[in-house]
Amino acid sequence: MTRKNYYILTNGLLKRKENTLYFINKDGKRPLPIHAIYSIYTYGALSISSQVVNLLSKEGIPIHFFNRYGFYTGSFYPRETLLSGDLLIKQVEHFIDNEKRLKLASDFVKGAISNMKRVLSYYNLDNNMDALLENLNSCDKITEIMNVEGRARADYYRLLDKILPKDFRIGQRTRRPPKNMTNALISFGNSLLYSTIISEIYNTQLNPTISYLHEPFERRYSLALDISELFKPIIIDRLILYLIKKNMIDKTDFEKDLNYSLLNENGKRKFIAEYDKRLKKTIKHRKIGRKVSYKRLIRLECYKLIKHVLGKEQYKPFISWW
């Protein structure tokens, strides 16, 4: 049975009665079958008891918390059951050894830029992403790799502005808080993706705090930041462009009082529904020989990292092939 993501947008109470969870709000009481939950994402004011936490822990279900603005505030990362001392040692080794770390950091950026290029080509936008990929080869410091990534992203947003309607132009990338509609969408989407990746890492033996491109002290789960670079263009940016281009989202989905720089309830609902649809979308994976969902692609990326650090197979970052 495939487990689903549950997204809770309204205020309410999460209760446990024996081995079932119930979400109770002003509209009523809804059971959440425990074996059908993969992760929970919560945006409203949620009351929760330790009995609930115990059950979630037992079943290995993470909860991701966002404040009412949609900013990520933290996760309940259940007690880990998939642990491999050997793998941890290897993960650390690939951080401490500078050359090994550079290789992985550069691979993440290579994947990120290649996927940005995919998005740009989809909209027939001429770009210089190849030159930036070239630049990566001569980097011998993490900061240099980061710089290339920053330059690529700035160019990328500038190019995307060419195909965006006037109201939706990105201009400067702003966060905390984002200053306009598309910036708001990017921030909202990236936090969502970050949490999704945390859930995927949780279901592997990887330690989420050891990262290669980002410094391990940047966030609690910095490995999720590394992996998110690969998937942001393909999952989040494409989703945003789709929503805007198809006129599925407009000014009325944003908080007018806050200068349209935050999604309102309705906007969040739309975004999340489309996001979840996208995670479930499948593509045929040639090597595996079966269909895999976008969400599963993230898991496969974790597996590839495990194989790389174990010395089994050189890591090749995910680059969208469609």
Partner 1 sequence: MISEAEKKLLVRGTQINYYFVCKTKLWLFSHHIQMEQESDAVELGKLIHDDTYKREEKGLILDDLISADFMRKGKVLEVHEVKKSNKMEEAHLFQLLYYLYYLKNEKGIEKIRGFIDYPKLRKRKEIRLTHDIEKRLEKILQDIDSIIKGDVPQPQRKKICRNCAYLEFCWS
- Is 270 one of the binding residues for partner 1 (CB under 8 A)? no
- Residue 284 as a binder of partner 1 (CB under 8 A): the answer is no
Q: Which is closer to partner 1, CB of 100 or CB of 285?
A: 285
Q: Rule CB under 8 A: is residue 203 a binding residue for partner 1?
A: yes
**Of 158-166, 238-246, 257-265, 291-299, which segment contacts partner 1 by CB under 8 A?**
291-299
Q: Residues 110-124, buried b or exposed e (16+ Cβ, 10 A)?
A: bbbbbbbbbbbeeee
Q: Is the dihedral of CA 43, 224, 133, 313 positive or negative?
A: negative
Question: Is 214 assigned to a binding site?
Answer: yes
User: Minimum CB separation from partner 1 for residue 303, in Å?
Assistant: 5
Cα 174 to Cα 154, 180, 255: the distances in Å are 11, 8, 17
Q: Which of 84, 128, 209, 293 binds partner 1 (CB under 8 A)?
A: 84
* CA atoms within 13 Å, Cβ hemisphere of 255: 15
Tell me which of 87, 136, 198, 224 binds partner 1, using CB under 8 A. Answer: 87
Verify binding: residue 67, partner 1, rule CB under 8 A. no
Binding status of residue 296 toward partner 1 by CB under 8 A: yes
**Residue among 31, 7, 2, 3 at smallest CA distance from 276:** 7
Q: How many residues bind partner 1 (CB under 8 A)?
A: 26
Phi/psi for 26 (5° steps) reads -60, -20
CA distance 180 to 319: 29
Q: Which of 196, 188, 192 has its CA nearest to residue 299?
A: 196
Position 77 contacts partner 1 (CB under 8 A)? no
Applying CB under 8 A, does 80 fall inside the site for partner 1? no
- Does 229 appear as a known binding residue? yes
CA distance 21 to 5: 14
> According to CB under 8 A, which one of 124, 176, 287, 321 is a site residue for partner 1?
287
CA distance 285 to 297: 9
Pairing of strands 4-8, 37-42: parallel
CB 219 → partner 1: shortest distance, Å? 25
| CB nearer partner 1, residue 271 or residue 318 | 318
Quick note: the x/- pattern for partner 1 over 157-196, rule CB under 8 A, is ----------------------------------------
Q: Which two tokens stand for residue 191?
A: 């936090």
Which residues of the shown chain bind partner 1 in the complex (CB under 8 A)? 81-87, 89, 203, 205, 285, 287-289, 292, 296, 299-301, 303-304, 306-307, 310-312
